[in-house]
Amino acid sequence: MATIRSFVCIDVPPEVKAAIERLQTKLRHLPVEVSWTRPANVHLTLKFLGDVEEARLGRVGEALDEIAQAHAPFELATDRGGVFPNADRPRVLWIGVRDERGLLRALVAQVEDALAQHGFAREARPFTAHLTIGRVRSERSARELARRFLAEEFPSYRFLVTHLILMRSDLRPDGALYTPLHRAPLRDRS
Ligand code: ATP
Ligand code: MG
């Protein structure tokens, strides 16, 4: 059966992607092998689904529609940079996302619940809202990169969440290729 690698995410506005691109440019000259996320590909993952049988994706889209309709658009803001798992052994470089009213957290819990009913495994790790901007591929100078990255300021951009996106991910040698399969609009505020 054909499967499609996919995940549920939120898009971020062009000014956030542009600021991420500027930050990546500042860090690129360091002698560390990093697979930098293409700015256009930057997103906030709510739920990673992995390989999903094609026939199930329609139901995932419907579940997202139902959840999205129960929420009005709400605001998030970019925060400082951070690294997973820690600054001594950085693997993932990311920009944090502030969810002051806990609305994103509530939304993610609903997505987990709904998709668990459709047989998707629950995420064991606690949810941390972040935008991955790079993945460290070598040990060499990685700590120095983390130190420089964490010392950088990142502007606080406020942005509105208006859609949940079901995204297809095709992993290519030159980076992931993302294709939106479904966009679920949050409720109109009218
Ligand atoms: P690449 O794997 O080539 O670095 P990527 O991680 O961006 O690219 P995917 O592996 O398809 O592409 O992941 C899509 C999104 O889901 C990313 O935001 C990624 O961080 C997140 N993700 C991937 N695997 C998991 C996982 N096992 N648990 C939670 N989130 C995941
Ligand atoms: Mg990946």
For residue 6, give the ligand 1 atom closest to its CA: 11
Digit-coded pLDDT (tens) for 96-142:
999 999 999 999 999 999 999 999 999 999 999 999 999 999 999 99
Q: Tell me how crowded residue 36 is: count the other CB atoms within 10 A of its CB.
A: 19
**pLDDT of 176-186, one tens digit each?**
999 999 999 99
190 pLDDT more than 60? no
Q: Quick check: 18 pLDDT over 90?
A: yes
118 is catalytic: no
**Annotated catalytic, 43?**
yes
